[in-house]
Structure 1
């Protein structure tokens, strides 16, 4: 492995010191963020998601943005803060925070997930504050509705479905004092009833958010200004390339006359690639994750000692999502990858899941977050733990999947088909997401209505109906986020090619880029290449 020269530690600038104060102020205002960041002292608190809460967060962000203009600091940090905090304020001023409601990333999921994933200490106190938090959330939704801003009816329906087990099931049992759990369940039930009787009748049927809103979301998630029409056409072209790769792989697996669909069916029935039971899934992914750390550390990547432990967990929410949570700021809590297995799903296919372990673990999110977290001498606290850009983060994780193929870890044609399947999903999301929300013509010349959208997604992915349903509604309700994976990967690959032309080895490029933290891709290019 090529030796990497470490950057010289510098004293914190006035801007760095202000950024540290900003993180701690945000932790006090947003206790769930403090828990996610691993900042102690707030696990027994829960924000109320009210209009007043959103204004308090925005006011502190405005103050921080003023500091960016007046305090001495490095140019990269200034550029990153202007971009990220500026977008946060623009979203606030447009009322996007007030109207937030979807099946994956809105206050109900934030409350549920923090209760299920947080340490036990403080959880009972946080459960007791759920009624107040949901009342504040409802107040924000009411204000947004009075301004004509209501989520699409389909998202409200999905949120009602997610509220049902919180209100009437066992999800919250044992998380707090019995009386507080009962009140929390009642609050979830009341919110569900209010959604059904009051908000849903005001909701539009249309899922599309339109070009103006979508352009802002795209910039938020990708971390670069994207030509959306070019990206749509690129997504279609990329799908053709991947399908051709799958066809070659299908023939390699099962013979010249076997189609891609037939090969996928055979893979799902192949015991070599099958796991039975959630425990078997958890044990398998832990083994794969640990081996990746062992194999890659000191050979292809510098992996800090604190980051050589990763925990593989099953998320009790059961939504069908897969995600990573970074370590605590002081590394007292390790990084964790979570599989949220839908109820009743007991069969898992390693040919599909292997690239996901690399995506969430090493060299994906776990390495990415760990390298930044260890840069205490060079990155301020905000850049280490609080600044997250999806195009950078998810783009890197997809880049990491492809990199493992490059390094020979997916030579088995079944696992290579899994990579192609994952890449095909991400390319399809570019087309679907942009097509739906910009109301473009679909590839067959018609409209991106719900039936066509579902048919299009089913035609490009090999996943269970439960997972597909979750993913489809995620794209409809969280515009711009899903395309940031493939578009971010594209930007990472372009940047690596340019770094190679500049004489930088792959290990040098990876280390220099990851040490910047999760920053917008346009700014990362400047940081890496100058």
Structure 2
């Protein structure tokens, strides 16, 4: 069945729209991320009171949803997804997950700052909004601190390693020459009439982050556990958060070990193509020594990213995918931070702000090898995140706002992006041995993360090889770091950032490879079911038209298993 476009919204769509509207009231930053004007200077309430308000909204929505029966597949998809997502939100709230959120990549400590990256920075009005939001950073930080204190009083505190890294980041954000000061200076230079308000706003934001550092050092750090592993209960909840599905963690761990071995074998064979008899490390050294594969400076990196992206959009848009005109613009940018990693931010709802790919370059890194990053551009851009997120944004007439903009599930989105890397290999875009080695490195990293993340957080037995190498039976973070160093390409700064990220964001890292597993299985099932009539382009279009869903909902939708009540029943 196809998604139905409702000329008149159904009761389920109306409920989803009402829920989304209330979410945007509670979170002006979400509205900014969607490009919705009107509350550009505001923050939501990060305090326990604000978190309670969202949980209460979820309870109200679920109670109303229980009274509604879907009459079309589109409604059935929405209901199933909302039941799963909002139900888990309530469970997480009761476990104090949002109250205690603190890690090196996706907690309020970063999000309060990062919203400025999505704000326009050209006109006087743009910088007036920035000045206003800068002035409101203190209230946001104070609310966040109150939630951390609330959780700590009830025994929920992130590990010391996470507290330490957020102290370091917060100190850098709020330094005299840090992010806020630099942002205000850019605005003042372009619009001198705003200089005072921008300067005062930056000073207020700097002071707020200084208070956060003081709280983290003086209050939270003494309470923070030394142990990084979160244990089975918290890990299972995190896994569901990022997958939208409950998986057998031991089976997934064992699968990860097998997949990792298969990828290493692929790389060993490819290394011999690069140079007969070469090891993987020798083949990589050959690639790294090739001047044609090295970029010097961030300007060259950005231009290279943009070129790869533009070519993919133009060529894939002809035969492989339906790429509407608004999605054909994708901006490649160097991020204003230096935390490490590459990420994507979606377009505004009207595409006035395009989708953007950001590269956060750690301090001191000035050379970049193209062979290791070509597949990353496809992962973040087209046919990866940009195509998936942009398609959902484009489908305003078929997807309600909650489905389109608020139901992000890592297993779906990151799984699709990792699937997209392999797809580009199938399509011949990674035929260059170096580029294919880079793609396999990316796949190897994601497989290794399955093993590391589940193994360390659940303190499982290591593979026999690692028991023999270390003389220990169970994973520890320190042995896990050695394991990651062996399987992750990149600088020490990047690997260290990733290591801390996995420890502080349990369940997120495996969602890429587990999500890819589900995409592979769905495609195989469709090909077997449809036989010679199977159309992979139609399969992709159908799946992307659903919007980002919990994997459990995606599987049921693609298999036609969602219950629809006949009219008048």
Question: What's the TM-score bracket when you normalise by the shorter of the two chains?
Answer: over 0.9
Who is 1:522 aligned against? 552
> How far did 1:461 drift?
1.4
Maintained 8 Å contact 1:27/1:42:
no
TM (norm. structure 2) is: 0.90
Please name the residue that 1:145 is paired with: 152
Matched, 1:190 2:217: no
- What residue in structure 2 maps to residue 379 of structure 1? 399
Output the CA distance in 1 between the equivalents of 2:288 and 2:63: 55
1:38 is aligned to 2:39: no
1:457-472 alignment runs, 5 A limit: 457-472=484-499
Asked if the contact 2:459/2:476 (under 8 Å) is kept, the reply is no
Say what the alpha-carbon RMSD is for the aligned residues: 1.5
Q: 1:21 aligns with which of 13, 18, 33?
A: 18
Q: Which moved more, 1:437-446 or 1:195-204?
A: 437-446
Q: Helix, strand or coil for the counterpart of 1:351?
A: coil
Deviations 1:118-146 (A, max 9, x none): 22422211110111111111111111111
Which residue of structure 1 lines up, in the alignment, with residue 343 of structure 2?
323
Whole-angstrom distance in 2 between the partners of 1:220 and 1:170: 33
Q: Which of 219, 225, 228 does residue 240 from structure 2 map onto?
A: 219
Give the match's secondary structure for 2:371: helix
Kindly indicate whether residue 172 of structure 2 is the aligned counterpart of residue 165 of structure 1.
yes
Structure 1: gaps (5+ residues): none
Matches within 5 A, 1:13-412: 13-73=10-70, 74-120=75-121, 121=126, 122-168=129-175, 169-173=177-181, 174-175=183-184, 177-256=198-277, 258-412=278-432
Candidates 506, 521, 527, aligned match of 2:536: 506
TM-aligned CA deviation for residue 223 of structure 1: 1.8
Give SS of 1:311's match.
strand
**Residue matched to 1:448:** 475
CA distance in 2, matches of 1:441, 1:70: 46
1:376–1:115 Cα change, 3 Å: closer
Distance 2:510 2:29 in 1: 26
CA distance in 1: counterparts of 2:40 and 2:476, whole angstroms: 43
CA distance in 2: counterparts of 1:170 and 1:209, whole angstroms: 33
Whole-Å Cα distance in 1 between the matches of residues 59 and 542 of structure 2? 31
Q: CA offsets per residue over residues 252-271 of structure 1, 9 Å max, x none?
A: 11222x11112122222221
Displacement after TM superposition at 1:36 (Å): 1.2
- Tell me the distance in 1 between the aligned counterparts of 2:281 and 2:117: 37
CA contact (8 A) 1:28 1:42 kept: no
Residue correspondence of structure 1 range 471-490 to structure 2 within 5 A: 471-490=498-517
CA distance in 2, matches of 1:453, 1:524: 32
User: Which segments of structure 1 move beyond 4 Å, counting only runs of 4 or more?
Assistant: 4-10
What's the CA shift for 1:193?
1.8
2:33–2:118 Cα contact (<8 Å) kept: no
Q: Bigger CA drift: 394-403 or 86-95?
A: 86-95
Structure 1 pair 8–105 and aligned structure 2 pair: CA distance change class (3 A): closer
Stretch of structure 1 that moved more, 292-301 or 108-117: 108-117
Query: Structure 2: how far apart are the matches of 1:363 and 1:183?
Result: 41
CA deviation after TM superposition for structure 1 residue 21, in Å: 2.1
Structure 1 residues 8 and 198: alpha-carbon distance in aligned structure 2, compared to 1, 3 A threshold: closer
**Offset at residue 170 of structure 1 (A):** 2.5
